[in-house]
Amino acid sequence: MAIVRGSSKRYLAYDFLRYLVIIVMSVLVAFPIYWMILTALQDPNVTLQYPPSFYPKSPNLLGFHQLFTDNPMGRWLLNSAFVASVATAVTTTFGILGAYALSNFRWRGKILFSFILLFTQMMPEVLVIIPIYEIFAKFHLTNDLIALAFLHSAFVVPVCIWILKPAFRGIPKEVNEAAQIDGCSQMKILQKIVIPICSPAIIAVGVVAFFASWGDFLWGVTMISDRNLFPASVGLASTISQLNTPVQELLSGAFVYGLPPVILYIFVQRYVISGLTAGAIKG
């Protein structure tokens, strides 16, 4: 928004104030993550000093060493990676098909289906946790990572369809018509035209699915009780409750587990922002 530019002096003051607000806000937002990195890399003796040091002193990697020797952390990370990969593949596939059905076809039950999707997305998952737990127990799906991945997908597919639908609709109808005249079937159009054109939105959807699954704690802690099958979130949470876990080890855990999504995010940031906001704004 344009700010009134009465005089250059006033303009300068506004600018200064704006930068100040921006810097203070960025520092506040970044501080918790900075503090995590600092504690993870710093000798515990320095960490527990008062007043605290706001820059790294005598850094070491002992926390990471403890983390991986005290716990099957490598295993936990692999479990999370596996669940998140399966969930991402399932979600993206189902999401593309679902969004295509909603954007390109006319069928009975479409409105009901859309409502169920919207509702699923808004529904607090924990409210249906008992029957889902019972279903899992009945069919011996507890401690099954693939079942967990499908469970994650079920709650993310709606968001993904929601993001993809406006993107699919945005394709000019002439393109679709031309392809039809050339004898393309609907599935061919999806494969050859819709998916390539909408790849940014599809990447965004993949990232959303990956984050949701990687970050999930509720379903993991409910369904997985075998310590070797813990996803990283559940494994790390179990180290919080052990009071004797050294703080450096704990924060190293947060670092190792929190970093992959952030790195992934840096690479795909462009797609995610445009994809998500398009979905959010057009609804």
Region 243-282 residues binding another protein, contact defined as CB under 8 A: 247, 250-251, 253-255, 257-258, 261-262, 264-266, 269, 272-274, 276-278, 280-281
Residue 157 touches another protein, criterion: CB under 8 A:
yes
- Per-residue contact flags (x/-) with another protein for residues 209 to 248, judged by CB under 8 A: --x--xx-xx---x---------xx--xx--x------x-
Q: Which lies closer to another protein via its Cβ, residue 65 or residue 169? A: 169
Residue 61 touches another protein, criterion: CB under 8 A:
no
Q: Which residues within the stretch 41-60 sit at the binding site for another protein (CB under 8 A)?
A: 47-48, 50-52
Residue 98 Cβ, how far from another protein at the closest point, in Å? 4
Residue 236 Cβ, how far from another protein at the closest point, in Å? 6
Which of 177, 174, 167 has its CA nearest to residue 197? 167
Which of 280, 160, 170, 175 has its CA nearest to residue 211? 160
Residue 16 touches another protein, criterion: CB under 8 A:
no
Residue 187 touches another protein, criterion: CB under 8 A:
yes
Residue 9 touches another protein, criterion: CB under 8 A:
no
Provide the residue type at 51 as one letter.
P
Residue 244 Cβ, how far from another protein at the closest point, in Å? 15
Residue 203 touches another protein, criterion: CB under 8 A:
no
Residue 184 Cβ, how far from another protein at the closest point, in Å? 12
Size of the site for another protein (CB under 8 A): 109
Q: Which lies closer to another protein via its Cβ, residue 61 or residue 187? A: 187
- Per-residue contact flags (x/-) with another protein for residues 69 to 108, judged by CB under 8 A: ------------------------xxx-xx-xx-xxxxxx
Residue 2 touches another protein, criterion: CB under 8 A:
yes
Residue 235 burial (C-beta neighbours within 10 Å; 0-12, 13-18, 19+): buried
Q: Which lies closer to another protein via its Cβ, residue 131 or residue 196? A: 131
Residue 176 touches another protein, criterion: CB under 8 A:
yes
